[in-house]
Amino acid sequence: MDSCCGLIISCSKVPVPLRGISVEVQVKGFVADVCATLRYKNMEEKPIEAIFVFPLDQDSAVYSFEATVEGKTIVAELQEREQAHKTYDEAISQGQEAFLLEEDKSSGDIFSCSVGNLPPGQEAEVKLSFVRELPVESDGAVRFVLPTVLNPRYTPKDHDVSVTAAIPRLPADKIPYSLALNAHFQSVYGISKIESNCQLEPIQYTDGDKLSAKVSLAQGHKFDKDVELLAYYLQANTPSAMVEAGLPDAVEGSIMADPVVMLNFYPNIPETKEKANSGEFIFLMDRSGSMMENMSSEQNAPRRIDSAKETLILLLKSLPLGCYFNIFSFGSEFSSIFSESTAYTQESMAEAVKLVNQMDADMGGTEILEPLKRIYKTAGRPAHPRQLFVFTDGEVGNTKFVIDEVRRNAHNHRCFTFGIGDGASTALIKGLARAASGTFEFITGKERMQPKVLQTLKCSLQPMVKDITLTWILPPGVEAKLLSGTPTAIFQGQKSIVYAQLKGKVEQGTEGQVSLAYSFKDEMVANVLRFTLKLTQSERPTMHRLAAKVVISNLIGGENPEEKSEEVKKQIVETSVQSGVISPLTAYVAVNKETKNPVKGPPVQRSIPLYGAPVAMACCMPMPRMMPGGPPRALACSMAAPGGYKPQIAVCHFPAPTPMPAMPLLPTPELADPTSGPAEGSPEPEIAVCYWPDPATVSDGATSAPAEGSPEPKVEVCYWPDPASVSDGATSAPAEGSPEPKVEVCYWPDPASVSDGATSAPAEAKAERALFQLISLQNADGSWNLGSELASVFEISEEALKEKIPDPSVDASLWATVLAVMWLHAARPQQRDEWELLEDKALDWIKAKAAPSLSECVRAGNQLLNCSVGSEVFGL
């Protein structure tokens, strides 16, 4: 295997033994039970050991592993980890077929499956099963995700290299194995629809009341994004309690022997009109090289860093006056905008926005531990509770160390985390938030980051819930033993799950009650949940397994389990083995002791390749996340352009410290036919931006982005022409019947040649840019200034805005602010969750002005903007 641009790729012709993956998903309410089948076949002439490293959600409870060889099923045994490895190694040395499943020591969301001594021509199947809770999104969707993307994780110095570093990587269209997925949803509340980020077969309702539905993944999944299913129940946010009977053959006194109750609370926190004007907000921004990747594999998807920057600016504009803030950037090293948290003023906000706009993914690796230590060494501000917001794609190799650092400082802050892009580590993102009583969000595919982040900011601004207690009322002789612990943080709209083991004799049909109480603004609030102790016996004790997973996670506490006391390690192993739920200290192992023809000699190791985003370079060369010379720049394309200009193609690569010569992106031998595609086997061009600069300006800066104010890029078709034959018509559309073009090219046309609408972007993208421009123009106090930039948002001249001021006594900023609020309601009502906090600040500012002419401003604004925004928006 060769190293290509920092990633491991398979450059050999060795056949991959994994042929396909089939996944069956059973969703009942808010719990998913999943069975994945991996089909192997050794197509080589020698025995092999196939190693498949794959991602699972941090909260998945893996409870079963079995292998089928030549029609015989071998059920794996869950053993202490070292013993399982010994069992596996001994079987391999004796020539027996053996199978091993284990959780990675460094991170609870990475697993490894080894299939050893698979003889030539032999087929084998392995099945693993797991259960997990499903979160409810803000729009009420129940979200199931099957992770298929496992990005390489950066390993800081003095730490063991991540197992992800040795995984072979292939482009999505070169992955040799397939994925099939069938999902069956059941809900007593009814299912209105099921959506996905992947193509699905049409939904099939299996009953007339729409309480049950099936969906299947369409063929052709490319493994370039996680599979996400969103099920919309008619009533998703309903408190519930489920009681599951214990197993009759379980060890007495264990979790599996007694009934377990799973409680789903949706705390109804009283609304408050109180405006937060305090707090210390620290934003920790990942600027490692991996943040340069796109948010998704979709064409024209934004880069992770660009989406994060836009969101950070929105956050800065939404902060309350009177607070303190700071921004830390991290990569291989870290830096901060201010030496310490500074007061939120117009000047400090403007300085921060300016510096955020200059940020790029140019800081190398992903070393998050050191900036966290620096933040925690800085004293907090009295009367300003510290809130930490972490933005990262989650590609780190020292997850447990990072979580442990946050947990040690949990007493003086709350941590809110955002996992950006497919493959973000659920262990890191969830672990950090849980360690410091915050919330977490994942932003993938086409999802907009802004709504989720602003919802989190609203959570952080609400008064803290304190003194949380659980009080049980159960039949005589029955007591509840908490397995998950009392919730440490409660937020409006967030589900809280509690697991408890019921000790004593439970009579069928008796009643139980539990009260979740807390103090909110010095008042006690109680949410009461009543339930019937109706014990259900299940072949799949889902609640017990989920509860066991929670117990194991709590015992580990985000730390290195090997460093725990012997007593704690014993509890982890006992809970794991008794429940069948895998842990970092246990592993599943299966041995085919009836192997007909024992293998002689050690098998050849074959690592199963995973998707790795192709790096757009024509050569294979080792490349760290950051090289001298700065962030990725562009290579010049050799194709000519109208007027003799050269298109500058922004291809992701790292330049050397000295200027690199222009390199043709496309293979020159295939440039003969103006409309032909590249020859079979030619590399696919990876084009980010193409534009046609003025030749006079082409120098070392030829690869920079067009100057501010340049025309919008126009999308044309890139052919594969002979450079010598290119004329002014080189970019015209092909004649009817010509072959389909392969590549789209964006270029910046000569402004003189741009006709009306020729370069305009789609209306939706244009409106979103206008919204972002409006947000960028707001002042820290919530007001807007009247000027040409604001006028351009409204597509009205500055003179017209000034002429339409209803009264000479009206302050220009008041008029501008009223218009801005009206435009938000009229032009972007669907994005209210993004600008609601901005509007609150604006309305507070307007109210403080106490302008008698406000009604007249609203009337004049409706006429000017051609809208009908009600005066009640302004409290009139």
Q: Domains in the chain, ordered, with CATH?
A: 17-238+580-607 (2.60.40.1730), 240-271+465-579 (2.60.40), 280-461 (3.40.50.410), 633-753 (no CATH), 763-874 (no CATH)
Q: Work out the pLDDT band at 85, boundaries 50, 70, 90.
A: very high
Beta bridge partners of 24: 35, 182
pTM for the predicted model, two decimal places = 0.77
Question: Among 146-155, 392-401, 459-468, 613-622, where is mean pLDDT lowest?
Answer: 613-622
Query: Which residues, including other chains, have CB under 8 Å from residue 411's CB and lie 6 or more apart?
Result: none
Structure tokens at 600: 């002689």
Cα distance between residue 664 and residue 647, in whole Å: 11
What is the enclosing helix (H) or strand (E) of 435?
Answer: helix 426-435
Using an 8 Å Cβ cutoff, are 427 and 58 in contact?
A: yes
What's the pLDDT score for residue 694?
A: 38
Beta bridge partners of 36: 23, 128
Q: Work out the pLDDT band at 656, boundaries 50, 70, 90.
A: very low
What is the number of other CB atoms lying within 10 angstroms of the CB of residue 781? 16
End-to-end CA distance of the chain: 70
Please write the tens of the pLDDT for every residue from 697-711.
333 333 334 444 544
Q: Nearest Cα to 573, choosing from 63, 86, 61, 81?
A: 81
What's the pLDDT score for residue 620?
A: 26
Cα distance between residue 765 and residue 775, in whole Å: 15
Sheet holding 465-473, edge to edge: 465-473, 511-520, 523-532
Using an 8 Å Cβ cutoff, are 618 and 683 in contact?
A: yes
Q: Residue 230: is its pLDDT beyond 90?
A: yes
Structure tokens at 683: 């590399």
Q: Work out the pLDDT band at 781, boundaries 50, 70, 90.
A: very high
Cα distance between residue 182 and residue 200, in whole Å: 10
Q: How far does Cα 566 stand from its chain's mean position?
A: 36
What's the pLDDT score for residue 631?
A: 33
Cα distance between residue 851 and residue 844, in whole Å: 12
Helix (H, G, I), strand (E, B) or coil at 301: coil
Cα distance between residue 122 and residue 316, in whole Å: 60
Q: Residue 414: is its pLDDT beyond 90?
A: yes
Residue found by looking up tokens 């599979």 in the block: 227
Please write the tens of the pLDDT for every residue from 466-489.
889 999 999 999 999 999 988 887
669-692 in b/e burial notation, b at 16+ Cβ within 10 A? eebeebebebeeeeeebbbbbbbb
Judge residue 550's burial from the number of C-beta atoms within 10 Å of its C-beta, 0-12 exposed, 13-18 middle, 19 or more buried.
buried
Q: Residue 751: is its pLDDT beyond 60?
A: no
Q: Residue 670: is its pLDDT beyond 80?
A: no
Compute the mean pLDDT over every residue in the chain, rounded to the nearest whole number.
81
Please write the tens of the pLDDT for every residue from 113-143.
999 999 999 999 999 999 999 998 878 899 9
Query: Which residues, including other chains, have CB under 8 Å from residue 12's CB and lie 6 or more apart?
Result: 1
